[in-house]
Amino acid sequence: MEPLGIAIGAGLAYLIAYYTYGRWLGGRLFQLSAKAVCPSEELADGVDYVPAPKAVVFGHHFTSIAGTGPIVGPAIAIMWGWLPALLWVVFGSIFIGAVHDFGSLVVSLRYQGQTVGDIAGRLINRRVRLLFLLTLFLLLTVVLAVFGLVIASVFSQFPAAIFPCFLQIPIAVAIGLWLRKKGGSLLWPSLAALGLMYLSVFFGDAGLLARLNQWLAGLPLFTWALLLLGYAFAASVLPVWLLLQPRDYINSLQLTTALGLIVAGLAAAAFSGGTVSPDGARAPLEFVAPVFNPRPEGAPWLAPFLFITVACGAISGFHCLVSSGTSSKQLMRETDARFVGYGGMLLEGFLATLVIVACGAGIGLGFAGPEGQWLTGKEAWLARYSSWTAAGALQAKVAAFVDGAGNFLRALGMPSAAAKALMGVLVASFAGTTMDTACRLHRYVIQELGAVVGDGAKAPGAWNLAGWLRNRYGATLTAVAAAALLAAIPPPGRPWSLAEAGKGGLLLWPLFGAVNQLLAGLAFLVVLFYLWRRSRPVSVILAPMLFMLAMPFWAMAQQVFFGNGQEPGWIEQGKWLLALIGIAAMILEVWMVIEGVRLLPRVKGALEPQAPERREEAGHPSESDSVCMGC
């Protein structure tokens, strides 16, 4: 019963936070108003700036920020104990992650949907703008290069997920075209899409489809990377109403109903135990992971690496890009920002909570081991978490979640094959929606870099480069080409071949965790300057900002110079590329913070040059009117 009580308690904490702290942030701190004209209407272009109902924007936002982060992060962090992982997920998402996402979304709404990197130039100075945008370019290139590997790995592990994931694309396009031409209620298209997607899960791996899935799962990794980058290119340049909005929306329907099934299965397992094992017994639902284990054998130290490993389950710098890159260009009303920005992160925190429960307790309900033996309890836990190295592999982390969550679904009477397919679709769909959103975000960042080049250009050639980078096709091609080149690099010490290519993103992947969390601290810096210049309280921003600047810097310094407790530092290992980029990231952080500290005392209450004017329409209430907007 303890795992069920923890899941229910966490869910109640998220609901209370949304209706109390989230409302205070929206009404008193950010002063949201339904009268404000949003960028989606003011700059509507039918491609990027497209107003959409808050349910659709929420679906896009949630599926884009979630990715595989809230699954693979908690699935490995649980080795330090389920209690520290749970505490960081719950309190981190409420007081840090959701504030970060919400603040980034609001500030972008007030700046015509610009990204936080571009806004930093307005609120702080042009040097910070350039440094911020270069950091975003590096981060997003690595994300695109690696996510092809992630999705291909999930497909190879769960071939039954391939057809259901690809079927989502024509369903999404059909719904996008229908709503564009016919309009009307989302109810019937939603129900039809949800029904088709679940039918594809249960019947999408039979007969010819099964052979097709197996063939696709066996494609070389680099082939998958190129196919997925090609899809990401199309998704980035097409109008958001045609593919991005409807695909993310229908994905969110399937994924949230899947979460509901996991919770129902958790309740069933709490009262009746796991499914009947071959010997006729039912294992009880209880935590088999350690409560607290600060130093697992071969693992890095708990601090600061817990706060880097969990990532999206508590806070992620990538979220500020989604908030300020795509979501801010689609909101119809400013008051919907609380539902999308604050509420979306709380739902992701709840997903991470369920992952902790699944990997810490659900896995103990039993599964078949490599030799067909039935494993339960601690024995099942150790089969997936025998060592830090084994548990840290992508396939092991995904398998631990699928085993645990699948046991909850089987407690409801769902067949094992269907439960496994549904969990595989859940993981692959999260990864896929994040990848196509990341490509569009990368395009925005490159276009903003093109504006920087254009601002300082002197020679005609520079202007031509600026024009290429500011064009949506040129910017997207640049993003995809950079990711493809990085992905094409073979693993260190191996010659290039089609079989080895596709893993190049892993060269820089060790940087991602610290740089991603560092980005969150820098996004807080931008939000703090926005509030400070308007003489609003900044204490609720200052504390999370300092924490999210200190922890990634500490982690990066450990990895570069001293080692992480598991292996020596990158310099000692001779990993000079990682070491140099890590040192550069730390220098960029210190530089940007110094620029901010120097400016901060002089600008309290002083609006930035060319501060945006807030256009309003009459007849709508504001968040501060104690009206529950977006509830």
Can you tell me the mean pLDDT for 108-129?
90
Can you tell me the mean pLDDT for 207-235?
91
Domain residue ranges in the chain? 2-273+284-625
DSSP state for residue 623 in the 8-state scheme: G
Highest mean pLDDT among 224-228, 487-491, 543-547, 605-609: 543-547
Distance CA(351)–CA(90), nearest Å, equals: 11
pLDDT band per the 50, 70, 90 thresholds, residue 463: low
For the chain, first and last CA: distance in Å?
A: 30
Q: What pLDDT sits at residue 624?
A: 46
Can you tell me the mean pLDDT for 426-430?
86
What values do phi and psi take at 45, rounded to 5? -130, 0
pLDDT for residue 475 is more than 60: yes
Can you tell me the mean pLDDT for 66-82?
90
Q: What pLDDT sits at residue 289?
A: 94
Q: What percent of the chain clears pLDDT 70, i.e. is strictly above it?
A: 95
Q: For 350-406, what is each residue's pLDDT tens digit?
A: 999 999 999 999 999 988 877 778 888 899 898 889 888 777 777 788 888 999 999
- Which range (390-394, 465-469, 544-548, 553-557) has the least confidence? 390-394
Residue 367 belongs to what H/E stretch? strand 367-368
Q: What pLDDT sits at residue 459?
A: 46
What values do phi and psi take at 616, rounded to 5? -130, 155
pLDDT band per the 50, 70, 90 thresholds, residue 232: very high
Are the C-beta atoms of 140 and 159 separated by less than 8 Å? no
pLDDT band per the 50, 70, 90 thresholds, residue 545: very high
Distance CA(207)–CA(372), nearest Å, equals: 25
pLDDT band per the 50, 70, 90 thresholds, residue 295: confident
Are the C-beta atoms of 315 and 100 separated by less than 8 Å? yes
Supply angle C-alpha 7, 12, 18, rounded to 5.
130
How many CA atoms lie within 13 Å of 435's alpha carbon, on the beta-carbon side?
Answer: 28
- Which range (55-64, 394-403, 474-483, 497-506) has the least confidence? 497-506
pLDDT for residue 599 is more than 50: yes
Instruction: Work out the angle between the directed axes of helices 416-455 and 318-325 (0-180°, nearest 10).
Output: 70
Q: What pLDDT sits at residue 631?
A: 27
Q: What pLDDT sits at residue 80?
A: 94
- Which range (165-169, 273-277, 428-432, 534-538) has the least confidence? 273-277
Are the C-beta atoms of 363 and 404 separated by less than 8 Å? yes
Q: What pLDDT sits at residue 416?
A: 87
Distance CA(448)–CA(499), nearest Å, equals: 36
Highest mean pLDDT among 22-26, 579-583, 610-614: 22-26
Q: For 158-194, what is each residue's pLDDT tens digit?
A: 899 999 999 999 999 999 998 888 777 788 888 999 9
Distance CA(324)–CA(262), nearest Å, equals: 31
- CA distances 280 to 180, 275, 364, 374, 379, Å, are 55, 9, 16, 11, 18
pLDDT for residue 620 is more than 70: no
Whether the CA torsion 359, 259, 317, 441 is positive or negative: it is positive
Can you tell me the mean pLDDT for 92-108?
97
Are the C-beta atoms of 61 and 323 separated by less than 8 Å? yes
Q: For 310-361, what is each residue's pLDDT tens digit?
A: 989 999 999 999 999 999 999 999 999 999 999 999 999 999 999 999 999 9
pTM for this prediction: 0.92
Can you tell me the mean pLDDT for 540-545?
96
Q: What pLDDT sits at residue 628?
A: 32
Distance from the Cα of residue 88 to its chain's centroid: 17
Q: Which residue, chain included where needed, has tokens 């309740």?
A: 267
Supply angle C-alpha 99, 103, 105, rounded to 5.
125
Structure tokens at 576: 């000079």
Q: What pLDDT sits at residue 323?
A: 96
DSSP3 helix / strand / coil % (the chain, rounded to 5)? 75, 0, 25
Structure tokens at 470: 């500011």
How many CA atoms lie within 13 Å of 21's alpha carbon, on the beta-carbon side?
Answer: 18
Q: What pLDDT sits at residue 455?
A: 66
Q: What pLDDT sits at residue 519?
A: 93
pLDDT band per the 50, 70, 90 thresholds, residue 89: very high
pLDDT band per the 50, 70, 90 thresholds, residue 626: very low
pLDDT for residue 51 is more than 50: yes
Q: For 553-581, what is each residue's pLDDT tens digit?
A: 999 999 999 988 778 999 999 999 899 99
Structure tokens at 280: 């006729």
DSSP state for residue 6 in the 8-state scheme: H
The alpha carbons of the chain give a radius of gyration, in whole angstroms, of 23
Q: What pLDDT sits at residue 392?
A: 72
pLDDT band per the 50, 70, 90 thresholds, residue 617: low
pLDDT for residue 621 is more than 60: no
Q: What pLDDT sits at residue 456?
A: 54
Strand ranges (E), 452-534 = none
Strand ranges (E), 373-456 = 374-375
Averaged pLDDT score across all residues of the chain: 89
Structure tokens at 272: 């009746």
Are the C-beta atoms of 301 and 551 separated by less than 8 Å? no
- In the chain, the amino acid numbered 195 is G
- In the chain, the amino acid numbered 311 is A
What values do phi and psi take at 239, rounded to 5? -55, 140
